[in-house]
Each structure stands twice: as structure tokens, then as C-alpha cells.
Amino acid sequence: MLMAFEQRDIRVLADEILHLGIAQSDVDVRVFTHDLSKVIRVYYDMPSRSVNMGQLLLRVLKVSAKHRIRLPVSFAVLGKVLASLDSICSRLDPDFNFTEIARSYVGRAVRSELHAENLLNDFYRALAATRSFLFALPEQLDRLMRKAVEGTLRVEFKHQNLDEIEATIARSANRIAIAMIVAATIIGSSLIVSAGRGAARWFGLPTLGVIGYVVALVFGVWLIVSIMKAGKHR
């Protein structure tokens, strides 16, 4: 991360943070990189001795938390320790350049990782892991094919958020049913009123037809209110 900061490569820095942390699946990498850039660029115009690496790390952690990227707790502890250490060293020696010292340590660590002996050891470990995988692969494929032929192969399917979709469909179906009942009630009441049937009357209209209109009005208002409430909760 320090090398990415030194080289002013925000994308590499963002990738390192995403690799080290636990990010949600819906993280917008472009927006995260942009917000990270706004924080980092403030330090680019500063002299190296004025850069407090601890404060910088804490600000990076704050941006990461904003985008729901959880980094190890040790990063927060490291940021506080570096901030305190930088402040103490500056008081003891105003010319002390903590950033330059950290840069030299990082440079040595990178050179050590790129040393031929270390690269060769990493290659041997990768080769051994590949060998184990290749030797185990035929047996695993044989087991898989045997289960498929015997009909005992099971495939587990785990749905996500289908319950919410099912509930939405159920609510929509209920609203359609109520709307159809309201429409049928209005049509029936209109037929009764136009026919003028029914002994009981209210304001010169058949009482049964008026009751139908009132029921349709109540259900219609309830349906409109429920739709508006559902729209606000989205």
C-alpha cells in the first residue's frame, strides 16, 4: 500500500484494500476509488516529512468503512500507533522523516520478496500444490461420474432474496383481485341503479345500489392508500 501511495497509483491502492478487506458484493469500485483519490491527493502536495502515515492510514480506513469494506482490526491499531509514533519522533527531532524511513523498510522488504531464492521457493511450493491437485483430480472425477451414473449425485441450490420477490408477487395478486372486486361491485351497483329495482330507496336511488357504491369506494380508497405506502417504503 505504501508503494502504491508513493507511486501515486490510486487504482492499485484501491485493489490492495479490496484484496485485504472483506467487501460487500455491491461495492462500487469506481466510486470507492474516486473517494480514496480525494483523500490521498491531499498528501501529494505535502513534503514527505509532513506526511503522517498513521493519520493517512486512519483516513483510508474511514473511506473503506464508508463503502462497507471491513479491514482487519490490526490496521486501525497500526494507524493509531504510527500516528503517535510520528508525533513523538517529530517532537524529539524536528528533522526526523518517518516517511523516508518507512519507505526504505518497504523497499528492502520488496527486494527481499523479489530475491531469486525466495522466488524459487515460492515456485517450488506452487509446483507441489499443483502436483497434489493433479494427482487427486482423476479420483475425484471418478467419484463424480460414478455418482452421476448411479443417480445419487445431488446438486444443492440456494436461493437469495426470492422470498421478497414471492411476497411482492403475492401483494400484487391481492391488489389485482381487490381491484377486480371493486370493478365488479361498481358495475353491479350501476346495473341496479339503472334498472331502478329494489323496494328500499335512499335519496331516490335503490339502497342496494348505494351500498354497492359505498363498499366499492371504501375498497378503492384502501387499495390506493396501500399502493402509496408500498411506494414510500421502496
Q: Do 18 and 103 belong together in one domain?
A: yes
**Is pLDDT larger for residue 59 or for residue 210?**
59
Residue 49 scores a pLDDT above 70: no
Q: Do 107 and 132 belong together in one domain?
A: no
Q: Say what the pLDDT of residue 206 is.
A: 72
Q: Say what the pLDDT of residue 194 is.
A: 73
Q: Do 45 and 76 belong together in one domain?
A: yes
Q: Provide, rounded to the nearest whole percent, the portion of the chain with pLDDT above 90.
A: 0
Q: Say what the pLDDT of residue 7 is.
A: 63
Q: Do 24 and 105 belong together in one domain?
A: yes
- pTM of this structure: 0.41
Residue 137 scores a pLDDT above 60: yes
Mean pLDDT of 123-130: 79
Q: Do 42 and 84 belong together in one domain?
A: yes
> For residue 62, what are the contacts with CB-CB under 8 A and spacing of at least 6?
none
Q: Do 169 and 152 belong together in one domain?
A: no
Residue 67 scores a pLDDT above 80: yes
Q: Do 49 and 105 belong together in one domain?
A: yes
Q: How confident is the model at residue 231 (pLDDT cuts 50, 70, 90)?
A: low
Q: Do 77 and 14 belong together in one domain?
A: yes
Q: What angle do CA 51, 14, 31 make, to 5 degrees?
A: 105
Q: Do 8 and 108 belong together in one domain?
A: yes
Q: Which domain holds residue 208?
A: 162-233
Q: Provide, rounded to the nearest whole percent, the portion of the chain with pLDDT above 70.
A: 71
Q: Do 149 and 55 belong together in one domain?
A: no
Residue 198 scores a pLDDT above 60: no
Q: Do 22 and 102 belong together in one domain?
A: yes
The grid coordinates listed for 150 are 448411479
Q: How confident is the model at residue 119 (pLDDT cuts 50, 70, 90)?
A: low
Q: How confident is the model at residue 216 (pLDDT cuts 50, 70, 90)?
A: confident
Domain C-terminal end among 85, 114, 143: 114
Q: Do 85 and 108 belong together in one domain?
A: yes
User: How many structural domains are present in the chain?
Assistant: 3
Amino acid at 181: I
Q: In this predicted model, what pLDDT tens digit does every residue of 146-180 receive, in sequence order?
A: 888 888 877 776 666 666 777 777 777 777 877 88
